Structure 1
Amino acid sequence: MNLHAGPFANWLLLTSFLISGGLILHAALRIPWFALTQERLTGWFGASVFVLCFWQMKASIQPGLSFHLLGASALTMIAGRDKALLGLAAVLIADTAYGHSAWASMGLSWLIIAFLPVTLTHALFNWAQRALPANYFIYIFVNCFAASMLSMWCTGFFTCGLLAASGVYPVDFLIEEQLPYYFLMGWPEGFTSGVYLSLLVIWRPQWVSTFNDAFYLTRKN
């Protein structure tokens, strides 16, 4: 999922870099840094390291075609949208420093594997709080499992669409040889996020910024 710079036009790489830089700066300015508790910092930093470890377990099919679990939805549920965007930026920088991606395409990669799933997860979380009952199982199965699975699928669609539009690989090849892997990986992505969040809200709920005992366990709709 980490994109190589070679196949893409310079204007696209530069534009995506500027957009991603602006979005990261905006997220950083929205974070109340001096109000963060030790529990929130522990959850945020620990989950970011966990995501970085996930990214090291990847499989490659063709140059520029590699697969790994995202962990973006889980990080969003643990740290919140803005801190998740910053955490994934740090993870992507570290992963690029390891030689798994190109510096020139880092902005484009961040938009697809960080901003897209984080935004989708955040939007689904807000919708569920407004439209669905305040229930622990809805939090786990909708906001954690389903959001993670949908994030992986959307990432796959956007990645394949970008590669096809850039002429890197034929559309038939992407549909037959790459897109199915994203659908398959949606299930372990959702399962891993669901199990991980289930354990955290039971044993370390103070690390999860989106979980509120009073809202999910005592509120009646």
Structure 2
Amino acid sequence: MIWLGLSIAIFLGALYFSPPQIFTKHPLSFLAIVSILFLAIAWNVSPTLPGQAPGKFYGLIFHFYGASLLTAMFGPAIALTILFPVAFLGVYVIQGGYVEASQHYLMVCVLPTFFAYLTIQAIQKYIPKHLFVLILGNGYVAAFMSVILSGSFLLLVRMLLGDAASSFDFEGWLLGLIIIAFMEGSLSGMLLAIFLIFRPNWVSTYNEEAYMSR
């Protein structure tokens, strides 16, 4: 129950900082629903290579979490609000188990959102404003770092709790983390670039005056 309670507390806190009425306004009135359905499906797509053991973490798989992209588009509060129903629709409804859904929300939503937000803030503060930097930084780098830092944090916690046995495959874990990070970064960067070209009003971190004044 502690996992569920913590997840609900974070969701309610995110909802508090992004009032519900904001989801009735364009473009969030439809983007939130589309994002929830798309990510719930994406979370359950994991094709593997022939001969690969199913469920192996470090196998070459397709996976898209979307936490970093939502953070770059709408900010962390709205991102966490949208990702809560994603976790319970994609994990609890499809796979079953509220504990697993809660853990997914905390580990692949809350942590990546937090690290993506920190990365985006650092980029905006220390890197000169340029459209290429916005796409590469807020899209690719933020997503890549959100996966790497979240995975490293979870491994550190596991080691501190004494769960990482001597037989733990660090090489396989690191390889899988890098593969997922590159995939997450590539998809986030590509989608953010598309949105900036065709729907720049969907990206809250984009300021036309700051990035296009020259």
RMSD across aligned positions (CA): 2.7
Deviation at 1:26? Answer: 0.8
Matched residues, percent identical? 23
Q: Is the 8 A contact 1:149 1:187 kept in 2?
A: yes
Alpha-carbon spacing, 1:92–1:53, altered in 2? closer, same or farther (3 Å):
same
1:185-219 deviation per Cα after TM superposition (whole angstroms, max 9, x unaligned): 2112111110100000110112222222122212x
1:70-126 deviation per Cα after TM superposition (whole angstroms, max 9, x unaligned): 111011112221111011111110112344353123333211111111111112222
Matched, 1:216 2:211: yes
Matches within 5 A, 1:92-111: 92-100=87-95, 102-111=97-106
1:41-74 deviation per Cα after TM superposition (whole angstroms, max 9, x unaligned): 3333333333223212125857695863211101
Q: Which moved more, 1:107-116 or 1:64-73?
A: 64-73
Match of 1:50 among 14, 20, 38: 38
Q: Which moved more, 1:98-107 or 1:76-85?
A: 98-107
Q: Is the 8 A contact 2:68 2:112 kept in 1?
A: yes
Deviation at 1:139? Answer: 1.0
Matched, 1:20 2:20: no
SS at match of 2:128: coil
Provide the C-alpha distance between the structure 2 equivalents of 1:94 and 1:51, rounded to a whole number of angstroms: 9
Highest RCO, 1 vs 2 (Cα 8 Å, sep ≥ 6):
1
Provide the C-alpha distance between the structure 1 equivalents of 2:31 and 2:41, rounded to a whole number of angstroms: 15
Q: Which aligned runs of 4 or more in structure 1 are off by greater than 4 angstroms?
A: 59-67, 161-169
Q: Which moved more, 1:87-96 or 1:39-48?
A: 39-48
TM-score (norm 2): 0.82
Matches within 5 A, 1:74-93: 74-93=69-88
Q: Is the 8 A contact 1:77 1:210 kept in 2?
A: yes
Partner of residue 205, structure 1: 200
Q: Is the 8 A contact 1:117 1:151 kept in 2?
A: yes
Provide the C-alpha distance between the structure 2 equivalents of 1:101 and 1:152, rounded to a whole number of angstroms: 24
Provide the C-alpha distance between the structure 1 equivalents of 2:207 and 2:66, rounded to a whole number of angstroms: 21
How many residue pairs get aligned? The number is 206
TM-score (norm 1): 0.80
Q: Is the 8 A contact 1:69 1:189 kept in 2?
A: yes
Deviation at 1:27? Answer: 0.7
Deviation at 1:130? Answer: 2.1
